[in-house]
Structure 1
Amino acid sequence: MMTRPASVPDSGATEKQRPQSPGVFLMSDSFETGGSERQFSTLAMSLDRSAFRVSIGCIQKKGAFLDSLGDVGLCDVPVFPLGGSLYKLESWKTRARLARHLRQNAIDIAHAFDFYTNLTLIPAARWARVPVVIGSQRQLGDLLTRAQFKAQLLALRLADAVVCNSRAAADGLCAAGLPRHKTVVIGNGMPPEVFAPTEPAIPRVPGVLRVGMIARMNTRSKNHSSLLRAFAQLQKEMPTSELLLAGDGPFRAELEREAEELGIAQNVRFLGDRRDVPAVLASLDVSVLPSVSESLSNSIIESMAQGIPVVAARVGGNVELISEDRGILVGVGDDNVLAGALGRLLKDEALRKSMGGNARSFAHENFTIAKMRQQHEDLYLRLLERKISNRRLPGYRR
């Protein structure tokens, strides 16, 4: 663990004028119930308040995680709306206002957490002469347009470091031209309740085996349709099996129609958004994620933490999570192979227990909040110490 440096003075500022604890500003697009937003909230709530002055900001002040942040004193959340565009004049006015906010609050470390804040906070922090500027890559980038990807890459080049939640995400940036030394891989952190044994949210029924998926229904990249088709095949062999889908979004009605058309609606339950994810997972025998793109899936880690074996598409960070003794990887969009993998696990209780136990141990060793928080704090202090050393600031007390 690194020792804590004092806050970095601006040129001409005195120690008396500037607080001694480094100021950390974290920024997210919103506080919706997605994976990135969850990790943002977890980090913001867990950072050591005796070592850092923690504050947050957003582009859109909405989402379920706002309440949790308020519970730990992060109630004052300034909003920096982009006005519908990342590139028009209104967005540059927003960046200027954000830069003023950073200066006025003596921010030493600015950390952007997603695509939109990479393009907003990083340039604003450079204008404000924030000593340490950090970007994030929490997806593979393959779902961005070419223009979006190039714009983000330009912004990330301005950062001192880019936190990636998987090696796959880091490799993608480096292949596009970002210097390798700027990337830092820090995995997601899960709260203790994710690992705790819990009662099933949906009571178990003797003789009924369940497959489930935890994912928002706001993007086709999660590939719910492939799972529905695979489950329709599975139903022919295992007609009493059930499929539970937790999550909501604009594509839900379309997916419900697909289930009707496939003749499986009576065995598919749409659960909507759930805050009791561990209890939902405890209702399952197998968890599945057939996404076409994933960096590091919270859904997979949460499933592993509950000891549930996972079948997932062989993409991105999924390969880093799932080995042959912890689950099964399948090709993207291969409905037949997906159905076969689900059937294999549902028919073999011993295999499910073995894979589930290995998965739980792996998740507990690698994806706790404590580990994620410590890695971020060490990164913040290491970069800040480097800036202090490089500046040789007069009057700075080590």
Structure 2
Amino acid sequence: MRVCHVITGLGAGGAEAVLYRLVKADDQNTHHVISLLDDLGFYGGRLTAAGVRCDALNLPRGHVSTRGLRLLHRRLREANPDIVQTWMYHADLVGGLAARLAGLRSVVWGVHCSNLERGMISRSTRTIARLSGALSRFIPARIICCSEMARRVHADLGYVRTKMVVIPNGIDLSEFTPDASLRERTRRELHIHPDEVLLGMVSRWDVQKDHANLIGGLKVLAQDGPGQWRCVLVGAGMTPENADLRALLRAAGVEDRMCLLGTRRDIPAIMNALDVHVLSSSGEAFGNVTVEAMACGVPAVVTAVGAGPFIVGETGWVVPPSDPSRLAGAIREAIAVRLTSPLNWRARQTAARERITANFGLGHMVTAYRSVWSDVMAAGASSHPVMC
């Protein structure tokens, strides 16, 4: 099959990472990626290096235009793919409309969000999501959701339930794997003492990631006393130049415990260096970074949003969102186990890796996407549900 992917951009985000892994791993189909924005971002170069054709349409950020629709329509007619796979709201709407106008009926939408509350996403994005719910009766043949929570939220929004299927995100388990030498080398680079517990959160600066919740929890921990812990923040905006972030850290009194690393390309190394990964989100459809950390044998603390509780299972800690005290309590317990119960800690590390291996390997995700695409090809624009 010839699969054309339409995505808003190729920056260092979760859905973008899933697209990259899927396309790189799927050697049974031919892939072409179209970014609606004006550059190929973090993953464009990687996709090109992997032999995948990538195009950028140079469209303005933040709104849907007739010019963009016409340009994408022309590109899709030229490509004439067997499947048009779109990723996230703007691309679902624009890519889906352009594909159908080009006479392409085999359209598959990708839903990678589970929190549409006011203040969590922009008004324009909420409007597009609602409009897409109404248009889901006509445009997509299938709608792939990355979590059960994402499916429920969008079904309630009006997306056609019978077209929706859940495919959890998957990762390359050979890339994200426990590595003692990598751990030692990275901790040495970060000047982390062997006896220090290293906390970390890999996530861009975004309202839904709720770094204020994390920092509030760290403030509570710091009030317990000196403690043997430090914390690294990794991702776009996680730098000293982020004045809002620095203000939060200063107000919490934890600046001296933090390492602000910004965007990194060596995420497996960062994950291996950690003792505990924390994801403090108020909204999160899936939480790829939790999967990546656990695959490296790092127990996780997550908030009870999206797929977080399902990912962690019984291997880590799950707390309510937007509750710094509860978050601090879970981190405190994790630190205590790490420092005082080596056998228990090793068991948690092993269980974390095993849970990811059993449920979130890249092979399963690729197989599931292929199954949906094959079914859509065979059934045309049928709206019957797909079982993966």
Category of TM-score, reference length = shorter chain: 0.7 to 0.9
Equivalence for 1:152 = 132
Give the alignment partner of residue 359 of structure 1, picking from 352, 360, 378.
352
Distance 1:84 1:297, change over 3 A: closer
Shift in Å, 1:45:
1.8
Shift in Å, 1:389:
10
On the 8 A contact 2:89/2:129 being kept in 1, the answer is no
Shift in Å, 1:58:
0.8
On the 8 A contact 1:131/1:384 being kept in 2, the answer is no
Shift in Å, 1:196:
4.7
Mean Cα displacement is larger for which, 112-121 or 204-213?
Answer: 204-213
Equivalence for 1:36 = 15
- TM-score, normalised relative to structure 1: 0.85
Shift in Å, 1:134:
0.6
Instruction: State how far apart, in whole Å, the 2-side matches of 1:365 and 1:23 are.
Output: 30
Equivalence for 1:68 = 46
Equivalence for 2:386 = none
Shift in Å, 1:342:
0.6
Equivalence for 2:209 = 222
Instruction: State how far apart, in whole Å, the 1-side matches of 2:178 and 2:275 are.
Output: 17
Q: How does 1:300-315 map to 2 (within 5 A)?
A: 300-315=290-305
The runs of 5 or more residues in structure 2 that have no matched partner are: 384-388
Q: How does 1:52-201 map to 2 (within 5 A)?
A: 52-60=29-37, 61-75=39-53, 77-84=54-61, 86-87=63-64, 91-142=65-116, 143-144=120-121, 145=123, 146-157=126-137, 158-191=139-172, 192-197=174-179, 199-200=182-183, 201=186
Instruction: State how far apart, in whole Å, the 2-side matches of 1:315 and 1:92 are.
Output: 36
The code of the aligned residue for 2:7 comes to: S
Instruction: State how far apart, in whole Å, the 2-side matches of 1:183 and 1:386 are.
Output: 15
The code of the aligned residue for 2:204 comes to: R
The code of the aligned residue for 1:298 comes to: N
Instruction: State how far apart, in whole Å, the 1-side matches of 2:86 and 2:210 are.
Output: 28
Which deviations, in whole Å up to 9, do the C-alpha atoms of 1:264-321 show, x marking residues without a partner? 2111111111111121112211110110001111111011101111111111211221
Shift in Å, 1:154:
3.1
Equivalence for 1:5 = none
Instruction: State how far apart, in whole Å, the 2-side matches of 1:141 and 1:206 are.
Output: 39
The runs of 5 or more residues in structure 1 that have no matched partner are: 1-21, 391-398
Which deviations, in whole Å up to 9, do the C-alpha atoms of 1:127-150 show, x marking residues without a partner? 111131011111114134342321
On the 8 A contact 2:179/2:296 being kept in 1, the answer is yes
Shift in Å, 1:252:
3.0
Instruction: State how far apart, in whole Å, the 1-side matches of 2:382 and 2:281 are.
Output: 45
Instruction: State how far apart, in whole Å, the 2-side matches of 1:82 and 1:227 are.
Output: 35
On the 8 A contact 2:115/2:285 being kept in 1, the answer is no
On the 8 A contact 1:235/1:241 being kept in 2, the answer is no
Q: How does 1:383-394 map to 2 (within 5 A)?
A: 383-387=376-380
Which deviations, in whole Å up to 9, do the C-alpha atoms of 1:76-135 show, x marking residues without a partner? x33234445534xxx223212322222222211101011110111000111111131011
On the 8 A contact 1:122/1:156 being kept in 2, the answer is no
- TM-score, normalised relative to structure 2: 0.87
State the identity as a percent.
24
On the 8 A contact 2:105/2:141 being kept in 1, the answer is no
Which deviations, in whole Å up to 9, do the C-alpha atoms of 1:133-186 show, x marking residues without a partner? 011111114134342321232343320011111011011111222222211111
On the 8 A contact 2:178/2:297 being kept in 1, the answer is no
Pair 1:261 & 2:251 matched: yes
Give the alignment partner of residue 330 of structure 1, picking from 319, 330, 340.
319
Give the greater-gyration-radius structure (CA).
Answer: 1
Pair 1:346 & 2:335 matched: yes
Equivalence for 2:219 = 232
Shift in Å, 1:258:
2.0
Q: How does 1:281-296 map to 2 (within 5 A)?
A: 281-296=271-286
Distance 1:310 1:238, change over 3 A: farther
The code of the aligned residue for 1:135 comes to: W
Distance 1:306 1:95, change over 3 A: same
